Amino acid sequence: MANKFEFNIRVYIEDTDAGGIVYHANHIRFMERTRTEWLRASGISHYWHQKDYNFVVHKINVKYSRPILMDDLITVTASVVSLKASSFVLQQNIYRGEIMLASGEVELACINADMRPCRLPDEIRELIQKELEPN
């Protein structure tokens, strides 16, 4: 993985359960937020204002290693793992400092307005290919 995008998130009370531990589904929300910020930081900000294609999570696998707690400042990473014609895979990890709290592999599929698989747009394919190139 040539590049790794990092995004910091503060954990608030609404992210936690009654015990002050982040609810398991919110790990996926943190990963989603990081993928969105990765696209924004890469200059793909118009993605939200177009109607030709969309990304959907095709597969996700999350491993919860340690609890995330109220008021933690976490860093969520996104690194491109692989690329296909209409999908790509990201490795995403959640850290508190140097401690890995959770990890996940997410496959995103590109679909058109009719909800059918379609080829990735050229600018996104180019971005992903660049991420896969060795430094």
* Positions marked active-site: 17
In which residue are the tokens 């924004």 written? 40
The Cα 118–Cα 46 span in angstroms is 18
> Are the CB atoms for 76 and 30 separated by under 8 Å?
yes
The Cα 112–Cα 128 span in angstroms is 19
Which residue type occupies 40?
R
